[in-house]
A and B are shown apart, each in its own frame.
Chain A
Amino acid sequence: MNEVKCECGHVNPHGTVLCEACGRVLDEKEKDRKLVDMRYEGSARRSQTYDKTIVDKIWNFFSSVKVGIWLIVITLIASALGTILPQEMYIPPNIPPEQYYLDEYGTFGKLYVEFGFHNLYGSWWYLILVASIGISLVICSLDRVIPLYRALKAQKVSRHEGFLKRQRLFGISTGANSNIDLEQIKINLRDKRYSIREEDGNLLAEKGRFSRWGPYVNHIGLIIFLLGAMLRFVPGMYVDKVLWIREGETKAIPGTNGQYYLSSDKFILEVYDKEKDKEVFSDALGKMGAVAKNYQSNVTLLEREGDAIPGEEPNLKKVKDYSIKVNEPLKYDNYALYQVDYKLDELDKMHFNLINKKSEESFGEIEIDLYNPKLKYELNKGYSVQLMNYFPDFEFDENGDPVTKSPVPNNPAFIFKMFTPDNPEGEVSFVAIQQTVEPFGDNEYKMAFAGIETKNVSALTVRKDLTLWVIGLGGAIFMIGVIQGAYWNHRRIWIQPKSGEVWIAGHTNKNWHGLKREINMVIKDTGIHEPIDQTQEQEKKIS
């Protein structure tokens, strides 16, 4: 349908500008031009040739490089907007964003939230932008790579005169053509790793054609990358949980469906020491104060054996011991555990002495596990202490009653009943940190604070990301494609002897400087003159 038959006999698809085989200019408009436009070898880009149905219209929209560039530029600007203020994920989680941005950044912050810029990269419109780039990548590439492949495959050695003349590098060597040593040129070209085709005495030397596929390879890489990013939405592909674990604790690792457990042995924080670490650091350490050297959780990974439903005492088997450090996550079975945060010296146990206020005589010490206090603590000789109430994170509520804010013992308070032989009915005492209240009058005895035990807590991120290999594959293919396209170029040199003259034309998709130098080396001592750079000639005439 509407195919264009060139004078050389080759049948080209509709819309072809330069004949795929001989390079003859087919498009009337192009005929007046001094130089041919070699983009995509002058092949027919189908998108530009059909425009009937709505499908074609959408297709053509995404097939345009101009549209693609606009999409890139819009994404670029949008991305920049999101960096003006920190994104929602970087603000403290316990404050509503509206409030936080207003407090921190004033009216501008408030507007920022109203426009949704505080969660810009997760917004639907940003996703559509990125997806549109993906669609554009697919369609642009498809629309160009097929015709380009056809054109490069169909190219003949003997190109039409008009094609050669309209190349950017073109020259005619006349006169002493008996001196022109075509054999030497061929040897020179082969030395430069050109592959040479010959037809009726005409030469086509070509190298680096594979670099023409570079852009398409890198686009494929990007598409795979984007697919990998999309895969994250598929259930089961991605886990992102946080596990707070205290020294000595064993906990199910969230996100593993109860298959793995972790027990923490120790959390270690090291800071640089001016005296012990390298002397060169002493100036910096003197100015900066404490600088962290290491965050480390010594843990044991356990695996549940057999099936167990949640709550059932699991049968755990040790998998391995590991020291999780920043940059050294514990990896096992697609899961990785990262050191991300910590809390030092969280209260764990408290010690009290039961003493007589007057004589200050002690009748024994009790140890209260703040995570699992006992109801009653027996002491010798008929002394005992009953725990009537316990507030791990104590405060007074609006009615003035003691309550707890959270189950974490940040500020423990107790109501004790002390039983002594003197007071068999018991004396009630309210004990919080640095305060004691005796609600029913003066007591004879009191619970005297006798020390604390603390534990460190590690925060570990639990991560599973099954999309990583797709992302990695996409990235690798992208890099290969970019390098292929950027570090090699597709060079062609046509040499045609024509009745007492030798014509030479050269083309490259980039790096003309390199091609010119190479041609100079190839034609050295062969009698052919250096071809002229016709764009520069044009410019000179203009200026």
Chain B
Amino acid sequence: MAEISSNLLYSAFIIYLVATLVFGGAIKDKKTEKEKKQSKWAVMGFGLTILGFAAQLGYFVTRWIASGHAPVSNLFEFTTFFGMMLVGAFIIIYSIYRTAALGVFTLPVAILVIAYGSMFPRDISPLIPALQSDWLHIHVTTAAAGQAILSVSFAAGLIFLVKAVDQTKSSKQTFWLETVMFGLICTLAFVIVSSVFSGLDYKESFNWVDKKGKEAVMEYSLPALAGPHKGELLEGNFEPIAEMPAIINAKKLNTVIWSIGGGLVLYGLLRLIFRKRVAALLRPLVKNINLDLVDEISYRSVLIGFPVFTLGALIFAMIWAQIAWTRFWGWDPKEVWALITFLFYAAFLHLRLSKGWHGEKSAWLAVIGFAIMMFNLVAVNLVLAGLHSYA
């Protein structure tokens, strides 16, 4: 069962990749914006997306059966589930608006999210007592669904920006848009670097001294550019370039360095080859886009996603926290960041009321909102210590 499950996830991943390319074909094919009939490519892309979604749903169900609990209990499971929800949200929004470009932008984000999640340990692990509750399924799935729908707003916002930002001259807008692209590329770099070294079965281990002065062993799965405090290489043959103070988690920092470094290389290559900004490179994909419509898609996704997110990430979360942790709210970092997300989108919705916060500004807000959610997913789990550190 576990075997079938991981194969299904793998096929879903491939199908999403193909679907993205097919949606790309749809854009090329589409002549005019007024054309009411969908192009064959778009129909095919959408069909493939649904197929991929079904495959991933199959992964989810089989893994659930195999483990006896909903597979949302660690970082790998949650992140891939979030990717699946993102595709699901895309399917809903696409069936309302039928915009092929949305597929070209949403699916790669979903693929990246799933690939990122797959870099974490994939073993099926049993539930610790705190997680043994039906609220695990209820809370986590609704929260992920809410975040996913909100993320579609990011994809729509990105489309808006790629089209609306003037690429003929360099400006603040082009800089920040490139920063967003760079962020996505760094994630890609992280996936590539991690896959390559885990494919090579690369290992290094160090004897090191922690901040309390105790000796411990630290294992690296990437070559250590940043070595641990007073680190002594035990296994492997790559001496670290720099040694970190004890207060810093050298292993995590090392991964960050690899991701950013890899991202810089990839980004640099793209710029060298095409002699254009990455956002400018994507421009042909959005040439037929009606800005007003994407703006509405972005706003609509927030409108649909906000109640779902509130229900899942705050209300259900509070009910469960009252049962498992004795209090409905305890200012745990994950809780606070869910509140921050809530406040941010509340501000977003209020800003839409005032004049001038439509279009480009709104698109930037959608991008920031996504950044906040990714921070909550990545940094809060891995960096800020708290009750939610299950990975």
Contact = CB atoms under 8 A, between A and B. Distances in A.
Direct contact of A and B (CB under 8 A): yes
Interface of A: 37, 39, 65-66, 68-69, 72-73, 75-76, 79-80, 82-84, 86-87, 89-90, 104-106, 121, 240, 272, 277-278, 280-281, 283-285, 287-288, 291-295, 325-327, 329, 336, 338, 340, 461, 463, 465, 468, 471, 475, 478-479, 482-483, 486-487, 510-513, 533, 535-536, 539
B323 A471 contact: no
A539 B163 CA distance: 15
B21 interface: no
Interface in B350-368: 350-351, 353-355
A284 B97 contact: no
B339 A79 contact: yes
A461 B326 contact: yes
Nearest to A512: B296
Given A65-B350, A121-B331, A280 B124 contact: yes
Nearest to A75: B343
B123 A283 contact: yes
B66 A326 contact: no
A536 B292 contact: yes
17 contacts: A37-B355, A66-B354, A79-B336, A89-B331, A90-B332, A104-B211, A280-B1, A281-B67, A294-B129, A327-B135, A327-B323, A340-B326, A479-B311, A486-B303, A487-B304, A513-B293, A539-B292
B385 interface: yes
A287 B247 contact: no
A68 B347 CA distance: 9
Contact of A486 (B304, B328, B343, B344): B304
Contacts of A510: 299-300, 303
A278 B291 contact: no
B327 interface: yes
Interface residues of B, number: 62
Contacts of B247: 104-106
Contacts, number: 148
Interface of B: 1-2, 66-68, 96-97, 121, 123-126, 128-130, 132-133, 135, 211, 247, 290-293, 296, 299-300, 303-304, 306-307, 310-311, 315, 318, 322-324, 326-328, 330-333, 336-337, 339-340, 343-344, 346-347, 350-351, 353-355, 380, 384-386
Nearest to B341: A76
Contact of A287 (B121, B353, B386): B121
A511 B302 CA distance: 12
A528 to B, nearest CB: 19
B318 A284 contact: no
A327 B353 CA distance: 42
Nearest to B307: A482
A364 B132 CA distance: 50
Contacts of B292: 533, 535-536, 539
The 9 A-B residue pairs whose C-beta atoms are closest, nearest first, are A284-B125, A284-B123, A326-B129, A83-B333, A327-B133, A76-B343, A338-B326, A461-B326, A486-B303
A86 B326 contact: no
A278 B67 contact: yes
Nearest to A472: B319
Contact of A482 (B306, B331, B333): B306
A272 B353 contact: no
A44 to B, nearest CB: 17
A241 to B, nearest CB: 11
Contacts of B326: 240, 329, 336, 338, 340, 461, 463
Contacts of A285: 125-126
A283 to B, nearest CB: 5
